[in-house]
Amino acid sequence: MAFQPIVDVARRKVIYYEALVRGVNGESAFSILEQVTDDLLYRFDQACRVKAIELASELGMEARLSINFLPNAVYEPEACIQSTLETSRRVGWPTERLNFEITETERVVDRTHLRNIIDSYRRMGFTTSLDDFGNGYANLDLLTDLRPDTLKVDRELVMGCDGNPRRQAILKSLVALARTLGTQLVAEGVETREESRCLLALGISVQQGYFFARPQVGVLASVADEKYD
């Protein structure tokens, strides 16, 4: 399990760590997920949640923990969350510091089921994020249906935004939309200082990407003060 920081540039601090699956030899999440068959989805999803919480507690994480989950692995929200709650109690992890990040939305067939999951998590006090917004799958209808607390703007919209007026116009519109909906924006895939500064100027202060730190297995990456300048 690897962790990558999500920072608030304006506040100059790490506010989340996203837990990311890695293989025993450092294989990427994509390569691991390719090997997970549908009949193993539930067990895989549960094991990842438990490991993320255990390791976050062991490492003394003070920021919030964001855990990816596969919607098709959750058959019934209240039942499937039990191992998460039990692990949190066992290691002393505050459940109010858990965020669930919706991934692989393109594979969701039953939109009503996904909405029920999000509504259940919200009632339990968890926050939720919609990943990869703007990549062709996470569209406006999902945003309307799911009403996530956080919207993660895909790298495709972030890449080179400092030199691309069209991307800046789209990002500016997203900022206005997020404010209207009461949703926080997170810019994913920030790789340069110029991109970070442009995003901050547009009103997106919460950012994630290699510019700040790469995901690191079994440790909490720190962010150098100079990255906030």
Predicted pLDDT at 84: 95
Among residues 18, 101, 188, 195, the one annotated as catalytic is: 188
Predicted pLDDT at 149: 96
N-term to C-term CA, the chain:
30
Predicted pLDDT at 181: 92
The fold adopted by the segment(s) 2-220 is: TIM Barrel (3.20.20)
Q: Report whether 209 contacts 188 (CB < 8 A).
A: yes
Half-sphere CA count of 123, side-chain side, radius 13 A: 9
Predicted pLDDT at 216: 95
Q: Is the pTM of this model over 0.75?
A: yes
Both tokens of residue 172? 């500016």
In whole angstroms, give the CA distance from residue 167 to residue 156: 9
Mean pLDDT by 10 residues, the chain (229 residues): 97 98 77 77 90 98 94 84 96 97 72 89 94 73 87 96 98 96 96 98 98 96 95
Predicted pLDDT at 13: 97
Predicted pLDDT at 136: 61
Predicted pLDDT at 105: 63
Predicted pLDDT at 30: 75
DSSP code at position 85: H
Hey, how many other C-beta atoms are within 10 angstroms of the C-beta on 94? 11
Tens digit of each residue's pLDDT (9 = 90 or more) over 169-186: 999 999 999 999 999 999
DSSP code at position 109: -
For the question of residue 188 being annotated catalytic, the response is yes
